[in-house]
Amino acid sequence: MKVTAAVFEGVGQDLVVQELELEEPKAGEVLVRLAASGVCHSDYHVVKGEWAATGPLVLGHEGAGVVEQVGPGVTHVEAGDHVVLSWVPYCGRCEYCLAGRPGLCQQVQQTAYENVMADGTSRLSRAEGTVYSYLTAGSFADRVVVPATGAVRVRKDAPLDRVALIGCAVATGVGAVTNTANVRPGDSVLIVGCGGVGLSAVMGAALVSAAEIIAVDLNDDALDRATALGATATINAGRESVPDRVRELVGEDGVDWAFEVIGLKETLETAYALVKPGGTAVVVGQSAEGVRIELDPMLMSDREKSLIGSNYGSCHPARDFPRLVELYMKGKLDLDQLISGRGTIHDINDAFAAMGRREAGRTIIVH
């Protein structure tokens, strides 16, 4: 069948909206008609060449839609079901999946991270040859064939143009707080970077009743959104010293938990520096390839300050996505605060330009 998609052709180039051929789902695959897709910084990393990826590639990995057809052997969803896409289509059988950590699934490393399905091929093509689907989610398209575990069923009355965000930003940010870190009521939390994931971390910290939720960004609009989502203090790092303000707010020792949601050397090192003895800094931000950080290991061995990583909020998509949808439907996750605007697939390059200008909030592409 024909689909309309935004295709990455090469670094630094605008995505090109074009018609592609999409095959039917094979065994263990699901065809989804997409309703909406969020535009995430990880797509932008590829466009800017900060992460190596070979075109042609349909970008987008944060989407939601309606199942149209399932391949042989798929039983967990059927035509008509509403689904949120996941970019870790886990195998369920490897040691990481069995340990409840599908974000580390071995099969995902060899398939979704290589933009191919379980059999090593892609379902997309055009006259010139194969086109790949980013993380096998390729959501900048009106239809997509995804691995079965990449389509997570959610309740049908949830608005797809909001819950699409759960597939990346919200699972990653909320999960970093509630799964990876296990923040406790009354803890103090620092969140450095208030893009979609950082704002979701603010929501997560508010959900678990962190006492102090300090949000840092360079953009006042982003900080206003953080306040609306539950931040108890905000710091504009362009105007104020982050270490000085954090110590003013919580004392000289620093915070219990710091979440770095940008991926830069300077902010990673600052986040670690502002964690109290026995506290933990969590690396959530996705760095450009080649970024390295410097830390004093004595702060780990003597002060027991930890540094841990969080991929996809250590989430289990099939368990966590329906719960996050439920929280949204009950008014406990204000997804609207993450959204700055809506557009069509033809607005995709403008959405990246807004990202380049560090504008706050996410653009939702409505298909």
Phi, psi (deg, nearest 5) at residue 345: -60, -20
- How many chain residues touch Zn ion (CB under 5 A)? 8
Q: Which of 17, 66, 94, 366 binds Zn ion (CB under 5 A)?
A: 94
Residues 113-172 that bind Zn ion (CB under 5 A): 168
Question: 3-class DSSP state for residue 284?
Answer: coil
Piece of 87-95, 263-271, 291-299, 321-329 that binds Zn ion (CB under 5 A): 87-95
What residues are paired with 63 via a beta bridge? Answer: 37
We find the least distance from the C-beta atom of residue 40 to Zn ion, in angstroms, to be 3
Amino acid at 194: C
Q: How far is CA 300 from CA 87, 242, 275, in A?
A: 33, 22, 11
Q: Which residue lies nearer to Zn ion by CB, 22 or 40?
A: 40
Measured in whole angstroms, the distance separating CA 227 from the mean position of its chain's CA atoms is 21
Q: Which of 5, 74, 84, 105 binds Zn ion (CB under 5 A)?
A: 105
Of the candidates 235, 159, 163, which has an alpha carbon nearest to the alpha carbon of residue 198?
235
Closest approach, Cβ 23 to Zn ion, in A, equals 25
Assign residue 93 a region (left: φ > 0; alpha: ψ between -120 and 50; beta: otherwise): alpha
40 near Zn ion, judged by CB under 5 A: yes
Phi and psi (nearest 5°) for 193?
Answer: 110, 115
Smallest distance, Zn ion to C-beta of residue 197, A: 7
User: What is the SS3 assignment for 360?
Assistant: coil
Choices 28-36, 97-105, 109-117, 318-326 (CB under 5 A): range interacting with Zn ion = 97-105
Q: Judged by CB, which is closer to Zn ion: 91, or 154?
A: 91
Q: How far is the CB of 87 from Zn ion (least distance, A)?
A: 7
From the CB of 211, what's the least distance to Zn ion, in Å? 29
Bridge partners for 32 per DSSP = 67, 144
Q: Is 273 in the site for Zn ion (CB under 5 A)?
A: no
Residue 97 interacts with Zn ion (CB under 5 A)? yes
Q: Which stretch binds Zn ion (CB under 5 A): 102-110, 117-125, 178-186, 187-195?
A: 102-110
- Report d(CA 137, CA 253) in Å as an integer: 43
Helices (H), the chain: 41-48, 95-98, 106-110, 160-163, 169-175, 196-207, 220-229, 242-250, 265-273, 298-301, 317-329, 348-356
| Beta strands 188-192 and 151-154, pairing class | unpaired
Q: Choose the binding region for Zn ion from 13-21, 42-50, 181-189, 210-218 (rule: CB under 5 A).
A: 42-50
Q: Which stretch binds Zn ion (CB under 5 A): 36-44, 146-154, 238-246, 302-310?
A: 36-44
Find the part of the chain contacting Zn ion (CB under 5 A) among 68-76, 90-98, 175-183, 235-243.
90-98
Options 42, 111, 232, 340; binder of Zn ion; rule CB under 5 A: 42
Q: Kindly give the pairing relationship between strand 362-366 and strand 339-343.
A: parallel
In this complex, which beta carbon is closest to Zn ion, that of residue 6 or of residue 97? 97
In this chain, which of 64, 74, 91, 351 binds Zn ion, going by CB under 5 A?
Answer: 91
Rg (alpha carbons) of the chain, rounded to whole number: 20
Nearest alpha-carbon partner for 312 in 183, 195, 184, 174: 174
Residue 190 binds to Zn ion (criterion: CB under 5 A): no
Nearer to Zn ion, 134 or 257 (CB): 134
- 174 lines the binding site for Zn ion (CB under 5 A): no
| Binding region for Zn ion (CB under 5 A) | 40, 42, 90-91, 94, 97, 105, 168
